[in-house]
Amino acid sequence: MKIAAVDVVVTCPGRNFVTLRITTEDGITGLGDATLNGRELAVEAYLREHVVPLLVGRDASAIEDTWQYLYRGAYWRRGPVTMAAIAAVDTALWDIKARAAGMPLYQLLGGACRVGALAYGHASGRDLPELFDSIRAHLELGFRAIRVQTGIPGLDTVYGVAASAAGGGDRYDYEPARPTALPVEESWDTRAYLRHVPSVFEAVRSEFGPSLPLLHDGHHRMTPIEAARLGKALEPYDLFWLEDATPGEDQAALRLIRQHTTTPLAIGEVFNSIHDYTTLLSERLIDYVRSAVTHTGGVTALKKVLDFAAVYGVKSGMHGPTDISPVGMAAALHLDLAVHNFGIQEYMRHSAETLAVFRTSYTFADGLLHPSDAPGLGVELDVDAADHFPYRAAYLPVNRLADGTLHDW
C-alpha cells in the first residue's frame, strides 16, 4: 500500500489548524494533526519542505519504520516543530491502517478497556458568581469533572478565564492566541495568585460539595517552593490534579514539590518526547501524563510514553484544548479507550465553525467521550470548506511581572 499523495492543509475556522492528509495508491486517505499554537507555519514548512518529499512512494503500512526514518533520519532530534510534524505523519498512517482494516483505531490498538473516556471541561470566572455560573453550565452540559480557573484580585486578565479574554463572555472555546501583530502582554503576580486560589477552592467545595472532581492549571508559573505551598494549601479541597505547577523541563523540581504535598500532579502538555518524562516517571514525581498525540510524535510515540508510565502507576491525562484539532482529539480518544492506565481526557469542545471543516463522529454523553466505531480515526476533513478560512497569524500572550520582568504565561 504505497503513499501516492501528501497534502498539508492550513485552515483557520475560528483558530488556526495544520492538518496532514496522506492518500495511498488505492485511494485510502488518512489525517494527522500538526497544529502548534502560535507557530503553525513552522510546522507547515517542516512538513512541506522536508517531510512530504520523503513520503511519496513509501509503504503506508510501515508505521514504526516511517517514525524512526523521520526521527533518526532528521539527525536533529526532538523539539515541538519536529515532533508535531512526525505526529501528523504517524497519526495519518494509523488512520489509513485502521480504515484499510475496516475498524476503529482503538480496535487496532488492542480494543477498548472502558466504555468511554471521562472528560473534564473548563469552568472559569473573574469572580465567584461568574465562576459558579460557569461550573453549573458545565455540569448541565454533562461534565462530571471540571477544571477551575479564576480571576486574581489586582490582575485584569488571567490565563484560562474566558470572560476576561478578548471577546469576553464565558466562551467555552476560549482561545488565548490573538491575531495581533505582537503577542498580547498580560500582567502576573504569583503572590496574589497564591493568596487567592485556596479561598476559591474552599468556596467551590462549599457550593458544589466534596466529591466533584476539580482540576486546576498552574500553567508553568510557580517556583518549586511556591508550587509546594499551593499544593499543600489545596489539600483540604481534594483536587483531582494540580497541572503544570512549575515549568516541567526542570523535572527535578518536582522532587521538592512531592516532598511537601499529596495533591496529585499533572505535567507534560508542552513536552514532545518520552525523554522529557524519564525522571518524572521513574521517580513517580507526577500522577498524570498530559501529553497529546499531536505534540509528542503521534500515536506510536504517545503509546510508548503511556506504557512507560504504566510501569510506575502513572495515568494518562491527555491535553485537549481547542488548539488540538478534532483530528488530534479523535486520535487521543482512541488511545484513551485502548490503554489500561487511562486517567482523564481534557475536552474544551471546538466551535461550530471548526466542526464545519472537521466532520467528527466522536460523541460526548453522560460525562464520557467515545471516538465512535467508524473505521480509522472517524474524522473527515472538508478541504473545500477549509479553503474558506485562510491562515491568520496569531500569538499566545506573554506575561510580565509588575517590574516588567518577562514571566511564564
Select from 231, 317, 321, 378 the one that contacts ligand CS2 (CB under 6 A): 321
Instruction: Give the nearer residue to Mg ion in terms of CB position, either 99 or 350.
Output: 350
Report the partner that residue 323 touches, choosing among Mg ion, ligand CS2, none (CB closer than 5 to 8 A by kind): ligand CS2
One of 346, 360, 386, 394 touching ligand CS2 (CB under 6 A): 346
Binding of ligand CS2 by 170 (CB under 6 A): no
Q: Which is nearer to Mg ion, 151 or 320 (CB)?
A: 320
Q: 407 an active-site residue?
A: no
Written as one letter, the residue type at 70 is: L
Handedness of CA 367, 269, 41, 51 (dihedral sign): negative
Show the binding pattern over residues 269-288: x = contacts Mg ion (CB under 5 A), - = does not.
x-------------------
CA distance 184 to 281: 35
Other beta carbons less than 10 A from residue 59's beta carbon = 13
Q: Is 189 among the residues that bind ligand CS2 (CB under 6 A)?
A: no
Pattern 232-271, ligand CS2, x by CB under 6 A: -------------------------------------x--
Residue from 46, 106, 159, 193 carrying the catalytic annotation: 159
The minimum distance between CB 244 and Mg ion, in angstroms, equals 5
Give the residue among 375, 291, 297, 381 at the shortest CA–CA distance from 336: 291
State which H helix or E strand residue 59 sits in. Answer: none
DSSP for 289-322, please give it.
E---GGGTT-HHHHHHHHHHHHHTT-EEEE---T
User: What residue 346 binds from ligand CS2, Mg ion, none (CB within 5 to 8 A, per partner kind)?
Assistant: ligand CS2
Handedness of CA 376, 378, 379, 380 (dihedral sign): positive
d(CA 242, CA 233): 12
Judged by CB under 6 A, the residue of 323, 329, 344, 371 near ligand CS2 is 323
State in angstroms the smallest separation of the CB of 87 from ligand CS2. 15
Whether 147 and 135 have beta carbons less than 8 Å apart is answered as: no
Given 104, 151, 176, 298, the residue binding ligand CS2 (CB under 6 A): 176
Separation of alpha carbons 33 and 20, rounded Å: 6
Say whether 178 sits in a helix, a strand or coil: strand
Residue nearest to Mg ion (CB): 217
User: What residues from 200 to 239 belong to the interface with ligand CS2 (CB under 6 A)?
Assistant: 217, 219
- Which amino acid belongs to residue 146? I
Q: Which does 176 bind (CB under 5 to 8 A by kind): Mg ion, ligand CS2, none?
A: ligand CS2
Which of 11, 37, 157, 294 forms a contact with ligand CS2 (CB under 6 A)?
A: 37
Is residue 217 at the binding interface for Mg ion, with CB under 5 A as the rule? yes
- Would you call 219 a catalytic residue per the annotation? yes
Describe the strand order of the beta sheet including 29-33 as a list of residue ranges: 3-11, 17-24, 29-33
Please select the residue that binds ligand CS2; options are 103, 396, 398, 408, rule is CB under 6 A: 396
Q: List all residues 6 or more positions away from 97 whose beta carbon is below 8 Å from its beta carbon.
A: 30, 60, 61, 63, 108
Q: Which of these is catalytic: 122, 138, 216, 219?
A: 219
Please count the residues of the chain: 409
Active site residues: 159, 219
- Which residues would be at the binding site for Mg ion (CB under 5 A)? 217, 269
- Which residues would be at the binding site for ligand CS2 (CB under 6 A)? 37, 176, 217, 219, 269, 321, 323, 346, 396
